[in-house]
């Protein structure tokens, strides 16, 4: 009997899902699944996993490794790994532990059950070794070749996992297409595809006291225009864009400051006041939407409240609060405080069950 989780999440707290869809060229809603949500799901079926009495849990490197480790922790079952070569379709046992004896029941883990051969080839490989195999993936969809025994029902969605945050950057997609998905040449290490968006005020220059804007707006703007660049700003080499909460009407003077201080050539995105007002939540949504539209993997934000809003809106993006007075970078993780709409159900009770 299969155990599935039906996705019922909504987008009220997220950036416009159409931005994601344009980004990765799909016609289905895009949904980011976090490590925490996967961990909660696996914990919710702990009793079922224990009842299976698996001899070992096997993760297909690399996408299946996180699931295999999570299952190992909740079940106490040893974890092992398979390595799969897409180009040759060769499956290799990649573990210090020996292959279990024929007849052993094992759980095979992969991130997604898709249209490719990875899961099916690994499943056949283990069955040829005489193992009794059940499968687990973090998701399956309408085009899945295999319906796993344990999975998140993602039909109607395009899932994006935490380990795929670089996969939709321009450089990654270009390299992926050039190499046929890594078949003709190796992909670069994931971190080399990181793309940063950064805030302006509080990151490249110090913030002007908000009270000054209310007292004398023009004088406050002149003061800001004459501020020097901060010496210890976290300007990484792979910064793609500066996303500021300043309104579009300030573009000319903002660009002049950037050019004068040596930041020419970095794209500048400013806030459209007709879409987003100057409240922290709206400014943060403007920044989050821009970062997603430009396929950024990281965002450096100077305001802690906005950092929380951005992290909530785009859970899979690395959001860093930059505390300029102490030159301290703090990673932010956040989500709405409400029940995750992930409900584990037996296939016989689930309208999405497949016999």
- Tell me the CATH number for domain 3-164+341-349: 3.40.50.2020
Evaluated on CA atoms 111, 115, 120, 121, the torsion sign reads negative
Q: Measuring CA to CA, which residue among 44, 84, 85 is closest to residue 64?
A: 84
Across 190-199, average pLDDT? 91
Mean pLDDT of 79-102: 93
Among 1.10.490.10, 3.40.50.1000, 3.30.1370.60, 3.20.10.10, name the CATH number for the domain at 195-324: 3.40.50.1000
Average pLDDT over residues 233-243: 79
Mean pLDDT score, 10-17: 39
Q: What is the pTM of this model?
A: 0.76
Give the Cα separation of 146 and 165 in Å (integer).
25
- pLDDT: is 152 or 18 the higher one? 152
Closest CA to 72 of 57, 53, 52: 57
Query: What are the structural domain ranges in the chain?
Result: 3-164+341-349, 195-324
> How high is the pLDDT of residue 18?
40
pLDDT, position 338: 53
Q: Strand, helix or coil at 203? A: coil
- How much of the chain exceeds pLDDT 90, in percent? 52
Cis omega before residue 84 (within 30°)?
A: no
Mean pLDDT of the region 188-200: 91
pLDDT over 60 (residue 263):
yes
105 beta partners: 132
Which carries the bigger pLDDT value, residue 204 or residue 2?
A: 204
State the average pLDDT over residues 299-307.
95
Would you mind telling me the total number of residues written for the chain in this entry?
355
pLDDT, mean of residues 15-27: 44
Q: Which long-range contacts (CB under 8 A, 24 or more apart) does 28-31 make?
A: 28/156, 28/157, 28/158, 29/156, 29/157, 29/158, 30/157, 30/158, 30/159, 30/160, 31/7, 31/154, 31/157, 31/158, 31/159, 31/160
Is the pLDDT assigned to residue 316 strictly greater than 90?
Answer: no
113's CB contacts (< 8 A; 6+ apart) are 119, 135, 137, 139, 140, 141, 144, 145, 146, 147, 148, 151
Domains 3-164+341-349 and 195-324 share a fold: yes
What average pLDDT does the segment 163-177 reach?
84
């Amino acid at each position: 009997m299969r155990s599935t989780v039906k996705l019922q999440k909504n987008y009220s707290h997220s950036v416009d899902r159409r931005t994601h869809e344009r980004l990765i060229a799909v016609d289905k809603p895009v949904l980011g699944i976090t490590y925490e949500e996967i961990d909660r799901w696996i914990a919710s079926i702990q009793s079922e996993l224990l009842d299976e009495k698996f001899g070992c849990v096997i993760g297909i490197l690399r996408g299946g490794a996180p699931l295999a480790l999570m299952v190992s922790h909740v079940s106490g079952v040893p974890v092992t790994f398979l390595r799969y070569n897409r180009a040759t379709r060769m499956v290799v046992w990649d573990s210090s532990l020996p292959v279990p004896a024929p007849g052993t029941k094992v759980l095979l883990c992969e991130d997604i059950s898709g249209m490719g051969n990875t899961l099916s080839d690994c499943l056949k490989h283990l069955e040829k070794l005489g193992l009794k195999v059940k499968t687990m993936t973090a998701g399956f969809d309408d085009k899945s070749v295999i319906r796993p025994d344990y999975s998140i029902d993602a039909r109607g969605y395009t899932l994006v996992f935490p380990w795929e945050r670089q996969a939709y950057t321009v450089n990654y997609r270009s390299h992926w297409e050039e190499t046929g998905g890594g078949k003709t040449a190796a992909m670069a290490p994931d971190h080399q595809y990181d793309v940063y968006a950064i805030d302006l005020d509080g990151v490249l220059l110090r913030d002007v006291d908000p009270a000054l804007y209310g007292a004398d707006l023009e004088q406050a703007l002149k003061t800001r225009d004459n501020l020097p660049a901060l010496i210890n700003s976290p300007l990484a080499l792979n910064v793609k864009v500066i996303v500021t909460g300043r309104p579009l009407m300030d573009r000319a003077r903002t660009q002049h400051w950037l050019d004068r201080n040596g930041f020419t050539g970095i794209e500048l995105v400013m806030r459209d006041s007709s879409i987003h007002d100057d409240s922290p939540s709206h400014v943060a949504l403007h920044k989050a939407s821009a970062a997603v539209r430009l396929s950024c993997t990281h965002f450096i934000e100077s305001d802690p409240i906005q950092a929380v809003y951005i992290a909530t809106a785009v859970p899979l993006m690395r959001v860093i609060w930059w505390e300029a007075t102490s030159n301290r970078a703090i990673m932010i993780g956040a989500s709405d405080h409400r029940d995750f709409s992930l409900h584990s159900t037996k296939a016989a009770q689930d309208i999405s069950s497949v016999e």
